[in-house]
Amino acid sequence: MGKLTGRVAVVTGAAGGIGKASARLFASEGAAVVLLDLAESVEETAALICREGGEARACCVDSSREQIVAGVISDVIKDYGRLDVVLANAGISGGLKSLFEQDEDDWAQLLRINLTGTFLAIKHGAKAMAEGMGGSIICTASIAGLRSGAGGPAYSASKAGVINLVQVAAQQLSGSNVRVNAICPGLVETGMTSMIFDAARDAGKEGRLGRLNPLRRAGSADEIARAALFLASDDSSYVNGHALVVDGGLSTSHPVSRQEFGATAC
């Protein structure tokens, strides 16, 4: 028996990185997984899970649109009769533009995907869970949402919003048996961070990545997925409204090279 045997999970942003690793782990622990992503490669994630002996289906959709999210959740309930886990993971980084380089359209798009998409996953996922036996909602935030120094202004604001939204949702779902938690990853190699890792490799400086945290290394998507499994499973049955930091200890100090006012972002 796996930790999620007989359960049904929805994972957004499942085409790669943390979403893909989490979906595979959830399936290996017995869950039927429904995968959402705008990238067509989400179909490859589903096919991989099926080859590994799991149960998965893919939906190539925009998880920041309410009608789409509501429709997917409705279909899950119709087809499976239950919803136990939602991992709201879809997100974009927006780069490291300063406040003065960030334009309104970029800001709006980033908040729509990172924060509004998470809100919609909670709103529709929690309703379905509350009408059933309850469940667990996990939202991918970031250490950038804790304090400055780990991301650009729009990204950091969106992830701070996710953390606060998780706390509010946990309170407003009192008595529903629906838990809502966040994960705050540190530096992890994913599609979103590939430019950083590729540049370091090209410069022969890969060993310097992650050296600012006490473990002196970057993290992997699989390590974040294991945290997601903990929050999805009964192992975390008394954990609610919490932001679980998985960053090698980086946020204990958040060392940062400050950008001076008027300087161009590197």
Catalytic residues: 155
CA distance linking residue 266 with residue 259, whole number of Å: 9
Please, are residues 226 and 25 in contact by the beta-carbon 8 Å criterion? yes
- Reduce the DSSP state of residue 170 to 3 states and report it: helix
Q: Where are the alpha helices (DSSP H) in the chain?
A: 17-28, 42-51, 66-80, 104-111, 117-130, 153-172, 194-202, 221-232
How many residues are listed for the chain in this entry? 266
| Dihedrals phi, psi of 139, to nearest 5 degrees | -120, 130
Q: What are 240's two structure tokens?
A: 């609610």
3, 98, 207 from 228: Cα distances, Å: 12, 31, 27
Q: Which residues contact 78 (CB under 8 A, 6 or more apart)?
A: none
